[in-house]
Amino acid sequence: MSEGQQRPAPEQGSAANKAVVRSFVEAWNTQDFERFDRLMAPDAVLHVGGGTIPCDPAATRRIAEEWTNAFPDWSFECLALIAEGDKVVAHLPYSGTQQHDLPSVKATGRSCTVDEIVIFRLSDGVIAEAWEVYDEAGMWRQLGLQQLP
């Protein structure tokens, strides 16, 4: 920060970070995946299911396209955003009907509603890292799978 500039109040930074996460959710819900270029860091990563995967804009776009192709009516509901420091915790249950195949799961034609919590870490106004926890077993059960993929 250069001399003479004031550091934003913590609540201003929190509000700005929450706005980025809201925009990210809206991009998914409207399938405006080009918006990820403005919302995701080029070296962003996602921690999910015990692993870490790239979630830079292009990787996030591929993930979003795969899931919204399989679930054309996919929608997140943003139930809560809690911000502190550089992190935003989001309660984001999602729902949709699987009308097309996923790589390891044939289309079921069934709907599901899945509870999800994501912790986003922001840096320089973009998403740099995220930790995702969702009810994967419940999702597969609602889709009628007897064995998890």
Closest CA to 91 of 113, 116, 122: 116
pLDDT at position 46: 97
pLDDT at position 1: 43
C-alpha span between 24 and 87 (Å, rounded): 14
Longest dimension (CA), the chain: 63
| Both tokens assigned to 78 | 């943003």
CATH topology of domain 10-142: Nuclear Transport Factor 2; Chain: A, (3.10.450)
Eight-class DSSP state of 31: T
pLDDT averaged per 10 residues in sequence order, the chain, 149 residues: 47 88 98 97 96 96 96 97 97 98 94 98 97 95 85
